Amino acid sequence: MQPVQDPALPDFVHSLQRFDTYAEIEEIKKSRDFVNAGADERTIFLEDTLIMAEGQRHDELKRLFAPLMSRQALAYYELQLIEPVIRKSIAEWMSKRDADGLVRTDLVPLIHAVLTRISARVTGADGVDTPERTEVFRDLVLDVSAATTASYSSASDPAGVIRKGRESLQRLVDDFLQVSLDRRKDLAARHSAGEIPAEDLPRDMLMSLCLADDLSHPDDAEKIPYIWRQSALFLTGSIKTTSHTLPHVFIHIDEWVKEHPEDREKLTDSEWLHRAAAESFRLHQTTPARFRKAARDIELSNGRRIAKGEMIALHPAVANVSDEVFGPDGRYFNPYRAIPDGMRPWGLTFGMGSHSCIGQNLVTGIQNKGDEKHGTHGTAVRLLRAMYELGAELDPDNPPRRPDDNLHDTWESVPVVLRNA
């Protein structure tokens, strides 16, 4: 088994003060003296959204969106959206058996298919229904995702990546989002006229903003309108992060059971899968660095100083594998790792403090536990179990492939063979 390596960083990060210990990052993320920051593309696509809002405005938005991740909503996503996509994908695979009688597939498009439907549902994009429209929607969202992190692109033209992202967001608006918004504005008007009870309204980001009448900000004509920036956050925040993260889990587990064959029987044990997924989440971040700006001159408890307005780089990827915090084998996958008291098994991977991830329970399950009938195992365990019930293993003839056009710690293709299918 290989130890995980520190991620490569784009040039602009090297000019910033860097914070890579767990204690420093925890102190900074929990402090209200820092605001979220990042490269220009972050402002272009995400200005004023939940992730870039601060203080009282951030609290307001967080409260507004909290019902989207209630236990009931998570159970709905899991049972009504994830399960049908998995079942349909399995049926398609079965009809395409190779000459040797085995079924082969790729984990990455499967994860995209599952996440695309959840992402559309949480955002409030209607009409992502047929396979063709789902594919168009997914490709446009992936373009927008690439644009929101264009600084990590190794393409020679990050401005071109941003331009393409803007065009794709406009197509999402024209083909999916505008009509969805108009429908929700009408529903909100009928709700306030007493014609429709709250429980009959869709529960999604666009509906929440319509009900709060929070649809526009005084933006100039050059800017992407506020409502589409909030949409970009929810669409990219859900699909890309999870599809970056889940293939790692599968690859770590596959290597682990090859070295520890006695654990092969645990592959359909949800509790074991929860532990294994959490350990893999610790080892990989969805982005190589995160950024904050100091709202005033600050001295951290270890004496390091940050000037008012200075942008700093945080490196959870380094902190999360630290020997001091996670033990001498901190860079290795070990589903039996003892987690230090008071710490999450995935460390800093879902953030910390006020901006921590609102989608975490959707991925990890509630309190890391699940319930067969009502869902809430989380996307990761649901998908892994479905794959392992079919005897999924990495395809020995087609190793996983990394992308060659960006610096993210991710996989572009993870071919698997389904031995029990």
Q: Which C-beta is closer to ligand HEM: that of 71 or that of 419?
A: 71
- Residue 237 binding ligand HEM, by CB under 6 A: yes
From residue 117 to residue 136, what is the string marking binding to ligand HEM with x (rule CB under 6 A)? -----x--------------
From residue 52 to residue 71, what is the string marking binding to ligand HEM with x (rule CB under 6 A)? ----------x---------
Report yes or no: 295 and 35 within 8 Å, Cβ to Cβ: yes
C-beta of 93: minimal distance to ligand HEM in Å? Answer: 24
Which one of residues 306, 363, 383, 384 is an interface residue with ligand HEM (CB under 6 A)? 363
d(CA 18, CA 15): 9
- Residue 39 binding ligand HEM, by CB under 6 A: no
Q: With contacts defined by CB under 6 A, name the span among 211-219, 247-255, 272-280, 356-364 that binds ligand HEM.
A: 356-364
Using alpha carbons, select from 54, 186, 50 the residue that is nearest to residue 122: 50
Q: Which residue is nearest to ligand HEM (CB)?
A: 359
Which one of residues 4, 141, 161, 357 is an interface residue with ligand HEM (CB under 6 A)? 357
- Residue 358 binding ligand HEM, by CB under 6 A: yes
> Is residue 47 classed as helix, strand or coil in its secondary structure?
coil
Q: Which C-beta is closer to ligand HEM: that of 298 or that of 383?
A: 383
Which one of residues 36, 145, 153, 406 is an interface residue with ligand HEM (CB under 6 A)? 36
Structure token digits, residue 194: 């007493």
- Residue 355 binding ligand HEM, by CB under 6 A: yes
Tell me 82's DSSP state. I
Rg (CA), the chain: 21
C-beta of 171: minimal distance to ligand HEM in Å? Answer: 21
d(CA 127, CA 119): 13
Q: Which C-beta is closer to ligand HEM: that of 134 or that of 349?
A: 349
By the 10 Å C-beta count (0-12 exposed, 13-18 middle, 19+ buried), 358 is classed as buried
Residue 6 φ then ψ, to 5°: -65, 140
Q: Which residue is associated with the tokens 């090859």?
A: 258
Q: Tell me the C-alpha to C-alpha distance, in Å, between residue 276 and each of 22, 108, 239, 249, 251.
A: 21, 19, 21, 7, 11
C-beta of 176: minimal distance to ligand HEM in Å? Answer: 17
Structure token digits, residue 278: 């959490």
C-beta of 105: minimal distance to ligand HEM in Å? Answer: 21
Identity at 272, one-letter amino acid code:
W
Q: Which residue is associated with the tokens 């927008």?
A: 144
C-beta of 291: minimal distance to ligand HEM in Å? Answer: 8
C-beta of 51: minimal distance to ligand HEM in Å? Answer: 4
Q: Which C-beta is closer to ligand HEM: that of 50 or that of 90?
A: 50
Structure token digits, residue 110: 């499967």
d(CA 298, CA 295): 8
Strand ranges in 210-368 using DSSP code E only, listed in sequence order: 290-294, 298-299, 305-306, 311-314
- Residue 240 binding ligand HEM, by CB under 6 A: no
d(CA 162, CA 181): 24
Structure token digits, residue 81: 């959206």
> How many residues sit close enough to ligand HEM to count as binding (CB under 6 A)?
24
> Is residue 314 classed as helix, strand or coil in its secondary structure?
strand
Which one of residues 274, 282, 290, 382 is an interface residue with ligand HEM (CB under 6 A)? 290
Q: Which C-beta is closer to ligand HEM: that of 231 or that of 242?
A: 242
- Residue 293 binding ligand HEM, by CB under 6 A: no
d(CA 87, CA 273): 20
- Residue 164 binding ligand HEM, by CB under 6 A: no
What sign does the CA torsion over 126, 169, 401, 351 have? negative
C-beta of 405: minimal distance to ligand HEM in Å? Answer: 21
d(CA 357, CA 351): 6
- Residue 50 binding ligand HEM, by CB under 6 A: yes
Q: With contacts defined by CB under 6 A, name the span among 75-83, 178-186, 348-356, 412-420 that binds ligand HEM.
A: 348-356
Q: Which residue is associated with the tokens 């890391």?
A: 368
Structure token digits, residue 364: 């990890």
From residue 327 to residue 346, what is the string marking binding to ligand HEM with x (rule CB under 6 A)? --------------------
Which one of residues 241, 361, 376, 410 is an interface residue with ligand HEM (CB under 6 A)? 241
* Interface with ligand HEM (CB under 6 A): 36, 50-51, 62, 122, 233-234, 237-238, 241-242, 245, 286, 290, 349-351, 355-359, 362-363
